[in-house]
Amino acid sequence: MRKAIPMNTMEMLAQARPASLDPRPDPARRASDIAAALSVGQPEPAATAPATRRHHARRTRAVRPSRKLAAGAGLTALVTATVAAFVVVSANHGQVTVDHGRANADRGQVIGKASLRTAVLAALDTASGQIGYVRTTTSANGRTDGVAESWTYPWLPQTGQEVRNLTRIHDPRHLSDPGDYAETETIYRQPAAANTTVKAEIIEVLFKQRKWYEQQALWSGPQQAQSPSYIRQQIAAGQFTVAGKAEIDGRQSIKLIIHEPADPGLQLDGTLWVDATTYLPLRSVIKSVGTRPGGQLDLTTVNDMSYLAPTAANLAKVQISIPAGFTRESLP
Amino acid sequence: MTDPDLIERFTSLYDEHYPRVYSYAVSRAGRQIADEVVSDVFLIAWRRLGEVPDHALPWLLVVARNVIANEVRAAARRESLAAELRSWQSGTVPDIADQVSERQAVLRALTALSDDDRELLTLVAWHGLSPRDAAQVLGCSAATYFVRLHRARRRLEQAVSAGAGGPGRRQYVAAP
């Protein structure tokens, strides 16, 4: 019987490589590293000799935010400050002109789709631990037929993370009555895939009727087109076109056309506006054209988005409160 | 080159090389300060983006090497690296190959070598550099690198043999 040839030292060493050398995927780290680098301003011309590298290390150390800051609540401010140096101010022909406020105040530059993608993804990752507030207005053939507000924490959850959502829905039949609304608190764990039904704890309070009920049920998750996960997925995949600039409620923004997946029988048109300073989504509009008996049905959904720090006061907005005297109802 | 182009180049550089710069930082300085080292490396890469060659990894590892050598962080590095090497010795690092005693023997032997020998060996074996790139990182010629690698291999083999004689483990103390 032939004796096995022993491995040489280098092969044995290669096989002994510890797994601890491999970084874990951490979008926040990526965002903070890139943001920290960009915040120091323009690169220098290629003239520095390698001998000066220690000098560089020390000099840049002074402006680098600490790891704690980058990983914590200050990250948003950091990215905001970073991208503020590359503020978008005008656009044309699908490319957006930026004014480099710090280094090139008088010189407009053109930001490409790839740079915009990077900036938006970094902003999304940075805000992932915040509370997302979305005000949704729906209309059919130009007539408003529903208004909802929702608070979600965390706004962009990791798979398996507990998510709390509180949605306040105004009865579409009685929009003029501010007291006629329902609130629903939904607690679930973020599924790995989009459009997945998950088990959820749901509490609903009907304020006009002064009653509430509680149930554990399967829940279909947030509507895909307005979910931050979906927005992130489309941006990451480059499924968008830069369509220029716009002002949303007095804020400079960049308009993106989101390429919606083909849906037989339903024509979807998605538009997203991201803040030109923070690169966070400000508004999305989804238009769909379908048919109904007697004619065409044009549906429009407008989502206005903002972000709240997860302070105790703000987290209370994600928790439902049942007023005293309300009756608990059994589910049919 | 426009500024957005610079940003794109930098983010591509980061995406492509971050894992290997991180690996190098862990192997040379331990996980406790690896993130700090990587941040510094890419800060320097951004500031000197015009100098970064297309084949960027050796350049980035040279920067990492100098960042790690910065005396300002020497004490933290010693502590972090010692913790890292202890985890290799004790096999507490999660790995599917943990059960293989030979693997543990090699790791224990590696931790008993000098910093220089460990770096010589792992640049090729763990970080996937070619001998020429490894020589560039170490600032020597390829011929010199081969001579030093040969000696380091011998010392590793001796350390493995010495470790195979009994269950006792050498206690590693990171070099100052």
Does the beta-carbon distance from A9 to B18 stay under 8 Å? no
CA gap A150, A164 in Å, rounded:
10
Residue of B1, B5, B6, B7 to mutate, testing the A interface (most A Cβ within 10 Å of its Cβ): B7
| Category of B130 on φ-ψ map: left (φ > 0), alpha (ψ -120 to 50) or beta | beta
Does the beta-carbon distance from B63 to A43 stay under 8 Å? no
Give bridge partners of residue A191 from the DSSP assignment: none
In this predicted model, what pLDDT tens digit does every residue of B55-77 receive, in sequence order? Answer: 999 999 999 988 888 755 666 67
| C-alpha distance from residue A236 to each of A79, A113, A120, B14, B100 (Å) | 18, 11, 9, 16, 40
H/E segment holding residue A32: helix A27-38
- List, edge to edge, every strand of the sheet that includes A267-275: A240-248, A251-258, A267-275, A281-292, A295-308, A131-140, A143-153, A162-170, A181-189, A198-206, A211-219, A327-328
How high is the pLDDT of residue A224?
56
Instruction: Tell me which of A50 and B44 has the higher pLDDT.
Output: B44
* Residue range A39-57: mean pLDDT, rounded: 45
Q: Using an 8 Å CB-CB cutoff, list chain A residues near B70.
A: 54, 57-58
Which one-letter DSSP state was computed for residue A263? B
Q: Does B26 touch chain A (CB under 8 A)?
A: yes
Instruction: Tell me which of B40 and A48 has the higher pLDDT.
Output: B40
Residue A282 main-chain phi, psi, to 5 deg: -105, -40
- Tokens 């400079």, located at residue: A252
In this predicted model, what pLDDT tens digit does every residue of B147-168 receive, in sequence order? Answer: 888 889 889 988 888 765 443 3
How high is the pLDDT of residue A288?
74
Q: Using an 8 Å CB-CB cutoff, list chain A residues near B120.
A: none
Complex ipTM > 0.90: no
Does the beta-carbon distance from B8 to A112 stay under 8 Å? yes
Q: Does B70 touch chain A (CB under 8 A)?
A: yes
Instruction: Tell me which of B175 and B82 has the higher pLDDT.
Output: B82
* Number of helical H runs and strand E runs in chain B: 8, 0
3-state secondary structure of A95: strand
Which of B3, B27, B51 is opposite residue A48, by nearest beta carbon?
A: B51
The single-letter code of the amino acid at B52 is: V
* Chain A nearest C-alpha distance from B6 (Å): 8
Q: Using an 8 Å CB-CB cutoff, list chain B residues near A20.
A: 26, 31, 84, 87-88, 93
CA gap B165, B40 in Å, rounded:
43
Q: Using an 8 Å CB-CB cutoff, list chain B residues near A112.
A: 4-5, 8
Residue of B1, B9, B11, B88 to mutate, testing the A interface (most A Cβ within 10 Å of its Cβ): B11
How high is the pLDDT of residue A161?
86
- List, edge to edge, every strand of the sheet that includes A87-92: A87-92, A95-99, A108-111
Partner A, chain B 85-124, Cβ-Cβ below 8 Å: 87-88, 93-95, 97, 102-104, 106-107, 110, 121-122, 124
Q: Is the pTM of this model over 0.80?
A: no
Instruction: Tell me which of A79 and A19 has the higher pLDDT.
Output: A19
How high is the pLDDT of residue A49?
33
Instruction: Tell me which of A42 and A4 has the higher pLDDT.
Output: A42
In this predicted model, what pLDDT tens digit does every residue of B32-49 receive, in sequence order? Answer: 788 888 888 888 888 888
CB atoms within 10 A of CB A319: 13
Q: Where are the beta strands (DSSP E) in chain A?
A: 87-92, 95-99, 108-111, 131-140, 143-153, 162-170, 181-189, 198-206, 211-219, 240-248, 251-258, 267-275, 281-292, 295-308, 327-328
Which of B11, B22, B153 is opposite residue A118, by nearest beta carbon?
A: B11
* Residue range A137-159: mean pLDDT, rounded: 84
How high is the pLDDT of residue B121?
92
- Tell me if A43 sits within 8 A of B49, measured CB to CB: yes
What is chain A's mean pLDDT, rounded?
70
Q: Is the pLDDT of residue B88 over 90?
A: no
CA gap B35, B16 in Å, rounded:
16
CA dihedral over A182, A188, A190, A194, signed as positive or negative: negative
The single-letter code of the amino acid at B160 is: V
Residue of A33, A40, A88, A100 to mutate, testing the B interface (most B Cβ within 10 Å of its Cβ): A33
The single-letter code of the amino acid at A82 is: T
Q: Is the pLDDT of residue A113 over 90?
A: no
